[in-house]
Structure 1
Amino acid sequence: MSEGFGLVVRFTLRDEKAAGEFDDLCARTLEGIKSSEPGTLTYVTHTPEGEPLVRVFYELYADRAAFDEHEAQTHTKHFLAEREQYLSGVEVTFLDAIAGKVAGRQ
């Protein structure tokens, strides 16, 4: 599988109030992603069981260029600028796809 570029991001939020505000920011950002990013194949936010102050993002892009296009969007830049006020930590793991099944692809 030579195509595909992804990342997993683990955000730790300061407190419950910050978590709610972060979730609102994420919802607004997701609207922009849905409407203007055809190269973003998957963009999902998760809350791990038993960790109410953690959000895990799983993002899959058609390729590195699609990720770069995502990063250049106004809604993404806004998210990146605003998110820090809600966080106590962030971990990013970049992923290069080597094998798998992607919806809509053979």
Structure 2
Amino acid sequence: MGFGLVVRFVARDAVAARAFDELAREALEGIRSEEPGTLVYVNHAVPDEPHVRVFYELYADREAFEEHERQPHTRRFLAERGQYLESFDVTFLDEIAGKGSSGDRAAR
């Protein structure tokens, strides 16, 4: 069953938001090339809230998320993100069903 999370980040200011985006971009390079269990990992900007970013992450299962957390690119992101942020909030998600979900793919 799929496992996901949504994280809302609030950067200190516009300069910090740009630096945060670069840090996230660098992490995404490793995620794309080294994490087959990471199904979706997207950094979103929020209209009318220029300092806010929302990550949507979907993993094949909890173990894939834990493997993601162990990766050097993720560990670097987690260690360095705080310097750019006022706050962040994490919401973990357990998949029930949906189009494009891991359960939907498994049914094929």
Q: TM-score normalized by structure 1? A: 0.95
* Aligned sequence identity (%): 64
Instruction: Give structure 1 regions of 4+ aligned residues with deviation exceeding 4 angstroms.
Output: none
Task: Kindly state the Cα deviation for residue 10 of structure 1 after the two structures are TM-superposed.
Answer: 0.2
Task: Kindly state the Cα deviation for residue 66 of structure 1 after the two structures are TM-superposed.
Answer: 0.1
Q: TM-score normalized by structure 2? A: 0.93
- Number of equivalent positions: 104
Distance in 2 of aligned mates of 1:86 and 1:56 = 14
In the alignment, which residue of structure 2 is the partner of 1:25?
23
Pair 1:96-2:67 in alignment:
no
Q: Which has a greater percent of strand?
A: 2
Q: RMSD across aligned C-alpha pairs, in angstroms? A: 1.1
Q: Which runs of 5+ in 1 are unaligned?
A: none
* Mapping 1:1-106, distance limit 5 Å: 3-102=1-100, 105=105, 106=108
Distance in 2 of aligned mates of 1:65 and 1:52 = 33
Q: Which runs of 5+ in 2 are unaligned?
A: none
Distance in 1 of aligned mates of 2:26 and 2:97 = 32
